[in-house]
């Protein structure tokens, strides 16, 4: 399913938990609740990026990767870190380059490769988005007590660790 179709589906009904019935086992209901929370939070972030910055989450994510690597990254590295195809990275990079937010620097030892890095304008733009992004996240979790946030963080950490162990056990 394409990202556009997924986004449209989630905007129509992001509450996947509502599909569960009381007879469903608790693990399924928990999974649907987690997925619903992720979808609702992501939907809000996408909306804020669109309305406040005329940007998208993939653009924000690409710029975040580049912000963490001041020397820049090759397209293949960006693709691997973001877990999307090179084609997706190329399209986003082309747009950001046209806007003067990133630049391509040819690799002297490999004429087919370029290093992508944020321009000064791109760094300024990303800092503004990142500051707002942090505020949005904080406001979304503000309704939870510090104790509940800490408990949720710990519980999700356990789930993450168990899931990673289960995945690494597969061959």
CATH 3.30.499.10 fits 56-128, yes or no: no
pLDDT for 63: 97
Phi (first) and psi of residue 134, to 5 degrees: -60, -40
> Domain residue spans in the chain?
1-54, 56-128
pLDDT digits (tens, 9 = 90+) for 37-72: 999 999 999 999 999 999 999 999 999 999 999 899
Least Cα distance to 35 among 50, 58, 48, 19 occurs for: 19
- At 5, the pLDDT band (50, 70, 90 cuts) reads very low
What 3-state class would DSSP assign to 28? helix
* Residue-level pLDDT at 71: 92
């Amino acid at each position: 399913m394409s990202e556009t179709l997924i986004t449209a589906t989630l905007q129509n009904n992001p509450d996947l938990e509502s599909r569960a019935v009381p007879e469903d086992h608790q693990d399924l209901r928990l999974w649907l609740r987690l997925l619903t929370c992720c979808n609702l939070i992501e939907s809000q972030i996408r909306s804020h990026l669109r309305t406040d910055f005329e940007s998208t989450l993939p653009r924000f994510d690409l710029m975040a990767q580049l912000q963490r690597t001041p020397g820049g990254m090759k397209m293949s590295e960006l693709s691997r870190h973001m877990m999307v195809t090179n084609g997706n990275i190329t399209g986003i990079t082309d747009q950001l380059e046209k806007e003067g937010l990133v630049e391509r620097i040819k690799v002297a030892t490999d004429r087919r490769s370029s290093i992508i890095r944020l321009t000064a304008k791109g760094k300024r733009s990303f800092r503004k988005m990142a500051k707002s992004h942090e505020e949005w996240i904080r406001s979304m979790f503000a309704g939870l007590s510090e104790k509940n946030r800490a408990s949720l963080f710990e519980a999700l950490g356990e789930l993450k660790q168990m899931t990673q162990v289960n995945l690494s056990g597969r061959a």
